[in-house]
Amino acid sequence: MDDPKTLVSTEWLEAHLKDPDLRVLDASWFLPAMNRDAKAGYAEAHIPGARFFDIDEISDNRSELPHMAAPIEKFVSRMRAMGVGDGHQVVVYDQAGIFSAPRVWWNFRLMGKMDIAVLDGGLPKWIAEGRETEDLPPMPRDRHMTVQRQAHLVKDVTQVAHASKLGDHEILDARPYGRFIGQDDEPRPGLRKGHIPGAKSIPWDSLLNADATMKSPDDLRALFAAAKVDLAKPAICSCGSGVSAAMIALALERVGHLNWSLYDGAWAEWGMYNDLRIATGEA
């Protein structure tokens, strides 16, 4: 079901593509091991009218951690320059299907902007269906944006450590299972292996169908149940650096579990400090 606050289909987007208050963002971002250039991919082909949202650049460059959420002033400035502002319905997609787009969905939610949806299946589905693309960026006009930061949608390391100790939240980890149990190395050098004590493994790709669309709400509920996730508890979504964690947040929203937040520092932070406890093996 199309929901312009969470997830919309390619059919929905094509039907609304010429709406004057629609804005489309290409939020592609890839891990180094994926060996793909998101900006080059955008320049080669993007959905008509799409602007490129640079997750690494539109971030807090004062932090040593990767692509932490941008300060309000920087976010508003970048969005205004991209012609994205008040009164707009935003649809965000990526070149992988669904991978990094939910991160930008969360970024907007963090700023109090609710009228944003992820494109189900992303650019690969759009292209596979023979829909139009272009290779020239649009010429945006400034648009005023009013934001109100929603602090409850983000957790810092102290809050996560407290939740881990008390067990009063479900900590859900989107990294591949081999990294979660401490069997596989982290892609970032110098990080310990394992997971936050008490966390449960929800690998990001387990949330998707074979065609990179998100599983149905019923299938997502079954997935959470199989992982013994207690949806009566508030959830904290985590991953390697705060990107794929947002996929869990989107999935939770799709099943009606609205009491969630995202650990922005993620394993890039937790795995760096020896004074933070870690767990390995089966959760």
Tell me the per-residue pLDDT of 35-67, one tens digit each, with 9 for 90 and over.
899 999 999 999 999 999 999 999 999 999 999
Strands 116-119 and 7-8: parallel
Does the pTM exceed 0.95? yes
Element spanning 169, H or E? none
CATH topology for the 7-149 domain = Oxidized Rhodanese; domain 1 (3.40.250)
pLDDT tier at 31 (50, 70, 90 boundaries)? confident
Active-site annotation holds for 237: no
Q: Measure the CA angle with vertex 175, ends 254 and 102; round to 5°.
A: 35
Q: Is residue 111 pLDDT above 90, yes or no?
A: yes
Q: Taking a C-beta distance cutoff of 8 angstroms, is the pair 241, 272 a contact?
A: no
Please tell me which residue in 239, 246, 252, 255 is annotated as part of the active site: 239
| All structural domains of the chain with their residue ranges | 7-149, 152-270
Tell me the per-residue pLDDT of 168-193, one tens digit each, with 9 for 90 and over.
999 999 999 999 999 999 988 899 99
Q: Do domains 7-149 and 152-270 have the same CATH topology?
A: yes
Q: Is residue 79 pLDDT above 80, yes or no?
A: yes
Q: Which residues pair with 22 in a beta bridge?
A: 89
Establish how many alpha carbons lie within 13 A of residue 254's alpha carbon, considering only the half-sphere containing its beta carbon: 28
Q: Is residue 282 pLDDT above 80, yes or no?
A: no
Helix spans in 91-244 (H):
101-110, 122-128, 157-166, 177-180, 217-226
How confident is the model at residue 170, as a pLDDT? Answer: 98
How confident is the model at residue 283, as a pLDDT? Answer: 57
Q: Taking a C-beta distance cutoff of 8 angstroms, is the pair 160, 171 a contact?
A: yes
Q: Is residue 198 pLDDT above 80, yes or no?
A: yes
For domain 152-270, the question of CATH label 3.40.1710.10 is answered with no
Tell me the per-residue pLDDT of 236-254, one tens digit each, with 9 for 90 and over.
999 999 999 999 999 999 9
How confident is the model at residue 105, as a pLDDT? Answer: 98
Return all residues near 256 (Cβ < 8 A) that are at least 6 apart: 217
Residue range 161-174: mean pLDDT, rounded: 98
